[in-house]
Amino acid sequence: MWITERLELKSYKECDVDFLHSMLSDPEMMTYIGNGKTKTETEAREFLNWIHTHEESDPDLGLKVLVEQKSGERIGHAGLVPQQVDGKKEVEIGYWITNEFQGRGYAKEAADFLLSYGRKHRKEERYISLIQPGNTASAHIARSIGMHKSKRMLMKEGDVDVYMITIK
């Protein structure tokens, strides 16, 4: 578990599948995720397995449940996510915040933490964020942690803007 000023980042457990499904089945939440379509409970379980696969290969990797310390509520997830960009392995700083908790700075807090953690404990040359065009809130967060838009590319589910920061 990782702790920030207001958040705990915890590994997903089987008991979190309903929370994950609540995010994946919310049309507003999914607007800028993947193909924009909501997911079934079965697809949520498959997604949870995908998350666990990354964490099993490297405990630093994969999405972690974001818990607001003050209330104990699960408010989203964030993490260091393995990606492929132009055939190269990259690590994405990813973040999703539920609608109810958006606009409170939680995504920026999580992204700041993940970048700082990466700088101190990992050997990546850079970090990326894959952000769909039109997702101005996520683009703003990427820029606020020092990322810049490097290009737009076509991935299997559509166009994404690749934001990146090089670690020196």
Domains, the chain, ranges and CATH? 2-123 (3.40.630.30)
> What's this model's pTM, rounded to 2 decimal places?
0.95
Q: Which residue has the tokens 């379980």?
A: 45
pLDDT value at position 27? 97
> pLDDT at position 156, please?
83
**Which amino acid would we find at residue 12?**
Y
Dist. CA 88–CA 15, nearest whole Å = 34
Which pLDDT belongs to residue 149? 98
Half-sphere exposure for 121 (CA within 13 Å, toward CB): 12
| pLDDT at 168 (0 to 100) | 73
Contacts 24+ apart (CB under 8 A), 98-102: 98/22, 98/23, 98/26, 98/29, 98/74, 99/26, 99/28, 99/29, 100/75, 101/68, 101/73, 101/75, 101/76, 102/137
pLDDT along the chain (168 residues), means of 10: 97 97 97 94 96 95 97 98 94 97 97 97 96 97 98 91 94
